[in-house]
Amino acid sequence: MPAEAMSVVQPARSSTEPSLAERVFVCVELIPSGSVLSYGDVAEYIGTGSARIVGRILATEGYDGLPWHRVLRADGTCAEHIRAEQLGLLRAEGVPIRGDRVQMSTARWDGR
C-alpha cells in the first residue's frame, strides 16, 4: 500500500461507520493495470483479518468503474460465476496467465 494512499484508507474516524467497504474500494482502485491482488492481500492492506469480507463487499457493493477484476484468489483462480470475464479482462491488461489461472508469483502487486 503506497504511503499516500494510507491517509485515505486509514480513516476509522467516525464511531458510527468506519465502513470497511470504502477502504476496500480505495485499495482496489489503486491496483495498477497489469497487476493483481488476492482478497487476502486487500484484507491485510485495509486492516481486517478476513479475506471473505472483501469478497462479500465486492459482491454486494461493487460498482462499475471499480477494477474488481484485479482481485482474485491467492492461488490465482477466480470464482466460477465471473471466471470467464475476469480472465478476459486480465489477459487484455497483459497479466501473465497459465491455463485458467493467473500466475500470482509475477502478477501480484507489490504495493509500488
In the complex, which residues of this chain contact DNA (CB under 7 A)?
A: 19-21, 38-41, 48-56, 58-60, 62, 68-69, 71, 73-75, 78-79, 81-82, 86
CB of 5 or CB of 104, closer to DNA: 104
Name the residue with cell 504495493.
111
CB of 32 to DNA, least distance (A): 18
CB of 29 or CB of 75, closer to DNA: 75
State the cell numbers at 91.
Answer: 489477459
Three-class DSSP category at 108: strand
CB of 10 or CB of 19, closer to DNA: 19
- Please state, in angstroms and as integers, the Cα–Cα distance from residue 68 to each residue in 15, 27, 39, 51, 59, following that order: 28, 11, 10, 14, 10
CB of 84 to DNA, least distance (A): 12
CB of 25 to DNA, least distance (A): 12
Number of other residues whose CB lies within 10 A of the CB of residue 82: 15
